[in-house]
Structure 1
Amino acid sequence: MNNRIIMTFLALAVFAVGLSGCSKPEPVERNATQFDLILTDDANQDIATYVLPQDTAILEEPNADQIFYGKRLLNETKRLLPDHVGAAMNCNSCHIAQGKIPLGDPYINSFTTYPRVMPRSNTLVDLEGRINGCFQRSMNGKPLDRESAEMAAMIAYMKWLSQKTPANSKVNISNAGKVDTSLIPDSIRGQVIYHAQCATCHGDNGEGIKDSRGDIVFPPLWGDESFNIGAGMARTYKAAAFVKYNMPMGIQTQGLWGHGNVLSDQDAVDVSEYFTHMPRPDFPAIVNDWPKGNMPKDAR
């Protein structure tokens, strides 16, 4: 029986998640300083706790240098891997707070989720392949050597973030929120919302913001330096789910990011329809997507 992992975030906020549909057992006394992860074979029990690790804990790992390098690569992808990133994007432009928070495309389950069959390609994809897919689509760039030190470092960071979650198990955390996909997008209204809510960070013309050294502060949402049409973020409803729960920044007073829950579903769909359909790089290999059909209605 696969174990399910229940997470508790002990950073700036605590998210306690119970097992749905199961009666709550009597609390078990545990030595929190001794155990980071507690498991049992009985899925009907309170089987485990995931503790979001502090980055300083990386120092305790035997491959600390490799994990720190992976962390840097995910934060500074464009600067450190310019030959592989065509867009003005970093991996963590979309994986919020270094891939650590719910609904912000976290990396927490990445190491244990792959390999798996991806509907878009209808093929079995391992974690190296998934990362390279992002380099080619979201980064509008070139894949890494699967055996490279850079690939190994990024995977080492994701493995560390999984905190020894057993194979075929997952931390109970959602990668993305949901929006009403029956809503009809209105790009004209979306343009108004963009300039009211998004342009401060992403620019009046979607160009993003760079610092004085030319490093990315906020990524471009369209144009030659943005993600290409093969990226998931180029799809209206997929982008809307990200926007609704993660943008605009700095609005809330709780959580790691201060993110999301400002726009309604309709707002998010409208603004996403606007910026996703602005000019951006092509991705010729998109013709091979969804070979078995079942193409989402917002697929480019």
Structure 2
Amino acid sequence: MPLKTLKLGPKFNLLLALIFLAGFALSGLALSQVLQNRAQAEVADKAQMLIQSMSSVRDYTSTQIGPLLNPQLKTSPNFIPETIPAYSATEVFQNLRKSENYREFFYKEAAPNPTNLRDKADGFEASLVERFQGDPKLKELSGFRDLPGGRIFYTARPLAVTKESCLQCHSTPDVAPKSLIATYGPDNGFGWKLNEIIAAQIVSVPAEEVLGNSRRLLTLIMGIVLAVFLPLILVLNYLLRRSVIRPLRQMARTAEAVSMGQMDVDFEQKSQDEIGSLAGAFNRMKSSLQISMNLLNQRKGT
């Protein structure tokens, strides 16, 4: 049905509904983006805190645990992994994941050339390391990544060899502890250099953990908006019918009666607004028409 053939009430309701739906959709899209960015920022902040915590564990292992166990490392037939900062950080994080707040987080020190193949970087992680190596000023990378198990959100920071003590296990196989060679072999984790970026600390979380929170919050907010504005629209529709449509319908009926010769009816003038002014103008027009008809009848009578 063409819009121009609709009556004023349905036409206004249709236009109001279209405006409301368009505003609701646009505000929903904008709010969705804002909430998603906020959720990403919150997860990124938590990931940064976790990376800093794991860096503290690494420093503690390197400065406190390592000096105590290194003498044993040189003579022990069995390798002591507790002397390795990466091992300590990974183990501490595994314990941290037992907490409900961090169960969905994952930590990895991804290295293209690790001693322990558990830390071997895949192609994507190796590209992050290459970006850190190519730009020493780059301190952090974050974003989404698609994996066979689902989409994840990651935060990564470069990991460099900052202490010469690290090179006793990672320079060449001939100077490395024999227990390390016996455990991991002579082919991996060697050739590192001082101040070289050799890995990336990566904290990741399933994307659903990020996007799910923003969607739930969006649903709640949009529900509140709908609950607030829908009654307002109904009230506005009621006021429109009472103040505009109903008086106009009454005027239309009165005008039809006048056109049929019923001059004893008046246009109701209940307000001083535009509708009231229109009713007053119609009454004056009816009076003028009545006077003209009376004069015309008098002339015919004479």
- Relative to the length of structure 2, the TM-score reads 0.24
Choose between structure 1 and 2: higher helix proportion.
2
If you compute each CA radius of gyration, which structure gives the higher value, 1 or 2? 2
